[in-house]
Structure 1
Amino acid sequence: MQIDRLRGKELDDLFEGIMKLENLDDCYHFFDDLCTTNELVSLKQRFQVAKRIKEGQTYQKVQDETGASSATVSRVKRCLDYGSDGYHRIIDRME
C-alpha cells in the first residue's frame, strides 16, 4: 500500500477522528475545517468516478458525468484494479 510510508500516530489520530463522526452534519463541519474547497472537489470527484466505473460505465461517460480528466479516471481505475480495495469496501457497504 502506498499509504504505508505515512503510517504512524499522527495518521492514526486523523483516521480515529474520522471514525468518531456520527452523521453527515459532523462530516460537513469536520471536512470544511480540514480541507480546502479544491481538495473536497477532488475527493468527491474521485469517489464518483469509482462508483461509476464499478457500475460498468465507459471512461467517456464517466468523464462526461463527473468532469474528471482521463488521467483521473485512469488513476481511479488502476486503484480499483490493483489498489488496496478501499473503494470497493466502502462502495459495497453503501449498496
Structure 2
Amino acid sequence: MNTKLVSKDKDELFKAIMELRSIEECYDFFEDLCTIRELESMAQRLHVAKLLVEGRVYSDIVEETGASTATISRVNRSLQGGNDGYSIVFDRMKDND
C-alpha cells in the first residue's frame, strides 16, 4: 500500500464501498459518487487488466475495449509492479463464481 495515498477521507470512502451489498447498491452509490466517464474509465481499466492477465496482446485489447495503449501500459505496470490489488480482486471473483 502506498502510504502517501492514505487519508481519513479515503478510509471513509473505502469503508462506504465495503458496506455495499448488491450490484444494484453499487450502481446507485457509484452513480451518485462518480461521473459516467469516471465510472466507465474504472470499468475499462478493470477489463484491460483481466485481458492482460489472460495473456491478450495490446492490439486485441485496444480493439475489444477501446482503451488507449497508454492506459493499457499503465494497467500493465500496475499488474507487474503494483500492490496486487487486481490479483486480489480477480482471485476472489473466481472463488465466488
TM-score, structure 2 normalization? 0.93
Q: Structure 2: which 5+ runs fail to align?
A: none
CA–CA distance in structure 1, aligned partners of residues 17 and 50 of structure 2:
21
Q: TM-score, normalised by structure 1?
A: 0.94
Indicate the RMSD between aligned Cα atoms, in angstroms: 0.9
CA distance in 2, matches of 1:8, 1:77: 26
- Aligned identity (percent) is 50
Aligned length: 94
Q: What's the CA shift for 1:6?
A: 2.6
Q: Deviation of residue 93 (structure 1)?
A: 1.1
Q: Which AA in structure 2 matches 1:75?
A: R
Per the alignment, residue 36 of structure 2 pairs with 37
4+ runs of 1 displaced by more than 2 Å?
none
Alignment of 1:1-95 (within 5 A): 1-2=1-2, 4-95=3-94
